[in-house]
Chain A
Amino acid sequence: MAPSPRAQRVLAALLKPAVWIGGLLPLALLVGAIATGTISQEPIEDLTHRTGKAALTLLLATLAITPVRRLTGWNGIVPARRPLGLFAFFYACLHLLVYLFDQGFAPGYIVEDVAEHPYVTAGFAALVLLVPLALTSTRGWIRRLGKGWQKLHRLVYLAAALGVVHFLWGVKKDLREPLIYAAVLAALLAFRLPQLRKRRAQAKAARVRMESDAQAA
């Protein structure tokens, strides 16, 4: 199923520019909208929505890498995951920054808002979860954390789920858009279920083997 070696070489050459173009596109559109005056009459809200959706879209893109790899057999796509994840984190940080500006950097209101309004809490938690993932995304940390690295980075599922919930709860009435994100996330998670079950079964088998070994000894 894997693409031919020649196709793989072409894809590999295209991967990096594609990721960078995709990652910078939301920023380019945003700057373009400001420059040409086509940004909304309510720029803060527009910036909030644009950065939030960019963060969530890119986060879902990182979660799509594994399914794409398995479905196409193209392992060469894996290097796209880290930059996509970091772009997602970048937009999530911009999203927070716009929010802080919007709140006039008033600590009292911000703490109250995060504590009292579940949709804000969910979004804030999602961003907090992304921080250790971004910090440990370097080669050095991957080596240092060994097996633990993968465990730690499973937090991305929780972060993505919280991000989608944040979107769903924040919308006044028309849920179409956040539901699209929710559906994509659900599909990406569902894709991993067989794998998860297999891993569980293997772990159980290993445990049983260890126990029987112990009894034999």
Chain B
Amino acid sequence: MLIRKPDDVRSSEITDEKLYLDRRRFLGTAAAAAAAVAVSPGALAACEAGGDGGQEDRPNSWEQITEYNNFYEYGTDKESPARLAPRLLRTRPWTVSIEGLCRRPGRYHLDDIVRANRVEDRTYRLRCVEAWSLVVPWNGIPLRALLTRAQPNPAARFVEFTTLLDPEQMPGQRRQVLEWPYVEGLRLDEAMHPLTLLATGIYGRALPAQNGAPLRLVVPWKYGFKSIKSIVRIRFTDRQPRTAWNVSAPDEYGFYANVNPDVDHPRWSQARERRIGEWLRRRPTLPFNGYADQVASLYAGMDLRRNF
């Protein structure tokens, strides 16, 4: 093990003590929150103490989660991904390239990434921008674990994610419905948030191809399209990434895309949602998809109507 001399450490790397202590406290709360979420489903109820009218959140069935998917790389309807992805997508071997403003870029085998981290259970609500929702018992590794290991530079402010580009494996990419490859992005603090997950499985089974195998992002307080699938590249950058849906229709899909019942999509309401499997009612949509307690502070002082 290398022990560095003090003069090896640049001043920019030294955290002042107050911030350091704040950080410890933050990590403490964050870890507690993450742990609380991890022990689902009781914890899920704890997340939403913020007045949802006492609605229950039971995980959706395996079939509901894996046979109704938005994955435009396999077509724009909900059934094609389940039909095509499992036989077309080759998830092994799979490498993820970590690039950009960090000290330890590199290409990593998925197995090494998973082995180096503890896979956790996280049951999250998933709210699609189309006003339907699911509850998914994910398995995965907190994104922050991976990002921290890459040691981002102080200049890094955003993280950009890219899906595989291969029309052979992803026939939907032969049509320019969106700009390919699919790109998503988060602000660094969003990416480092303890709720942000890199999912590798559902219900303890390997992530099905149609759900974004072998590695996908899950950002539970944002609309589903932010949770990019089949990731091959993670890049630290100082500029806000050009994200697929935002580029395609900037007035309809914002960069932040935080779930917000008060800001309608220009063409439809976001006030309520249809939980897959439920009939005859729509649930009220919760600010930040019910995770406001944990994430609202990330956006303190921001106009969420403008930064939708």
Interface residues of A (CB under 8 A from B): 40-42, 44-45, 101-106, 109, 112-113, 116-120, 169-170, 172-174
Tell me the complex Cα distance, A119–B267, Å. 7
Q: Which residues does chain A contribute within 8 Å of B68, judged by CB atoms?
A: 40-42
Kindly identify which residue among B132, B271, B281, B282 contacts A42, using a CB–CB cutoff of 8 Å. B132
Q: Which residues does chain B contribute within 8 Å of A105, judged by CB atoms?
A: 280
Known: A40-B68, A40-B79. A112 touches B269 (CB 8 A): yes
Known: A101-B279, A113-B269, A117-B269. A44 touches B274 (CB 8 A): yes
Please name the residue on chain B nearest to A43 by beta carbon. B279
Q: Which residues does chain A contribute within 8 Å of B281, judged by CB atoms?
A: 104
Q: Does more than half of chain A's interface fall in helix, strand or loop, or is it mixed?
A: helix
Kindly identify which residue among A40, A41, A170 contacts B267, using a CB–CB cutoff of 8 Å. A170
Interchain CB contact under 8 A, B279 and A44: yes
**Max count, chain B CB within 10 A of own CB: residue among A102, A120, A172, A173:** A172
In B41-80, which residues have CB < 8 Å from any A CB? 63-64, 67-68, 72, 76, 78-79
Please name the residue on chain A nearest to B130 by beta carbon. A172
In B202-221, which residues have CB < 8 Å from any A CB? none
Tell me the complex Cα distance, A172–B272, Å. 18
Interchain CB contact under 8 A, B268 and A102: no
Q: A45-B274, A104-B280, A120-B268 are in contact. List 17 more A-B contacts (CB 8 A).
A: A41-B276, A42-B68, A42-B274, A42-B276, A102-B274, A102-B282, A106-B282, A109-B269, A109-B271, A112-B269, A117-B268, A118-B267, A119-B267, A169-B267, A170-B267, A172-B76, A174-B177
Q: Which residues does chain B contribute within 8 Å of A106, judged by CB atoms?
A: 282
Interface residues of B (CB under 8 A from A): 63-64, 67-68, 72, 76, 78-79, 130, 132, 177-178, 248-249, 264, 267-269, 271-272, 274, 276-277, 279-282
Interchain CB contact under 8 A, A103 and B282: yes
Please name the residue on chain A nearest to B178 by beta carbon. A173
Tell me the complex Cα distance, A40–B66, Å. 11
Tell me the complex Cα distance, A120–B276, Å. 22
Kindly identify which residue among A41, A44, A113, A174 contacts B63, using a CB–CB cutoff of 8 Å. A41
Interchain CB contact under 8 A, B132 and A45: yes
Tell me the complex Cα distance, A105–B282, Å. 10
CB B176 to nearest CB in A, in angstroms, measures: 11
CB B112 to nearest CB in A, in angstroms, measures: 35
Kindly identify which residue among A103, A112, A173 contacts B248, using a CB–CB cutoff of 8 Å. A173
Known: A41-B64, A172-B130. A109 touches B272 (CB 8 A): yes
Kindly identify which residue among A41, A104, A112, A118 contacts B282, using a CB–CB cutoff of 8 Å. A104
Tell me the complex Cα distance, A100–B285, Å. 19
Tell me the complex Cα distance, A1–B267, Å. 49
Tell me the complex Cα distance, A44–B279, Å. 8
**Max count, chain B CB within 10 A of own CB: residue among A40, A105, A112:** A40
CB B276 to nearest CB in A, in angstroms, measures: 5
Q: Which residues does chain B contribute within 8 Å of A104, judged by CB atoms?
A: 280-282
Tell me the complex Cα distance, A103–B178, Å. 31
Closest 8 CB pairs of A and B: A174-B76, A41-B68, A104-B281, A41-B64, A41-B67, A42-B68, A104-B280, A42-B276
Q: Which residues does chain A contribute within 8 Å of B267, judged by CB atoms?
A: 117-119, 169-170
Please name the residue on chain B nearest to A100 by beta carbon. B280
Interchain CB contact under 8 A, A173 and B63: no
A sample of 14 cross-chain residue pairs with beta-carbon separation below 8 angstroms, ordered by A number, consists of A40-B67, A41-B78, A42-B274, A42-B276, A44-B274, A101-B279, A101-B280, A104-B280, A106-B282, A109-B269, A109-B272, A109-B282, A117-B269, A172-B76
Interchain CB contact under 8 A, A173 and B274: no
CB A48 to nearest CB in B, in angstroms, measures: 11
Tell me the complex Cα distance, A113–B64, Å. 27
CB B160 to nearest CB in A, in angstroms, measures: 22
Tell me the complex Cα distance, A117–B252, Å. 14
